[in-house]
Amino acid sequence: MTSSSPATSNDLILSPLLAQGLIELNIVLTLEQQERTLQYVALLNKWNKIYNLTAVREPTRMIGLHILDSLAVLPYLTARRAMRVLDVGTGGGLPGIALAIARADMHVTMLDSLQKKTTFVRQAIGELLLTNAAVICERVEQFKPVEKFDVVISRAFAELSDFVNGAAHLLAEDGRMFAMKGVNPVNEIARLPDGFEVEKVIELNVPQVEGKRHLVLIKKV
């Protein structure tokens, strides 16, 4: 999609939803970035009919539940000056694709063990011309990259202890693990393995999303 592409009826509905959500999140995306984001939503909606990538079926709900929810963590990645990010259990590319579109200077690697999902993400990366994104089909415990990551992030992927035990080996020195959660996972925090602690729990206010959203920042002790 380019700025000269004719607007579809879906765009006319989704574009204002995205624009208003960005305003409420205080996040600035260029028109081209917004168009790429809407193109991603269109791809997710199209492939979802065959690959069952997400339980959310309506593109209007995808804007809030997927896109704005993913972008809500962007200020905290920026605050950490994260340049290499790993999205564990990316599924249909969330939050990875949304973050890669929003931050061209940040490289995002997306990891999932299901081939049908990584096939879609690879297609999306190609169609969206994202040169700062990559996808790997592998179990997180077996993934051994050459270079480790500033932030390892997961979105509704696993209990915190499982996330840490499975992915902590991928974290660079002084890196952080970002766990995107619904309600504040107090009980999960209590079960964190030795050697790790919660640095901060941030309540996120995500436009167009009902219910609680929290970001848990975990560091090595």
Mean pLDDT over the full length of the chain: 93
Q: Can you tell me the distance from the alpha carbon of 76 to that of 61, in angstroms, rounded to the nearest whole number?
A: 24
**pLDDT bracket for residue 9 (50, 70, 90):** low
Measure the CA–CA gap between 210 and 194, rounded to whole angstroms: 34
pLDDT (mean) for 24-32: 97
Instruction: Tell me the C-alpha distance between 49 and 61, whole Å.
Output: 16
Over residues 197-218, the pLDDT tens digits come to 999 999 999 999 999 999 999 9
Per-residue pLDDT reduced to its tens digit, 184-199: 999 999 999 999 999 9
pLDDT value, residue 4: 40
Rounded-to-integer distance, Cα 89 and Cα 157, Å: 6
Q: What is the mean pLDDT of residues 154-181?
A: 95
- Read off the pLDDT of residues 58-108 as tens digits, 9 standing for 90 and up: 999 999 999 999 999 999 999 999 999 999 999 999 999 999 999 999 999
Work out the burial of residue 143: count CB atoms within 10 Å of its CB; fewer than 13 is exposed, 13-18 middle, 19 or more buried: middle
Domains of the chain: which residue ranges? 69-220
**CATH hierarchy code of domain 69-220:** 3.40.50.150
Q: How far is CA 27 from CA 24, 86, 161, in A?
A: 8, 21, 31
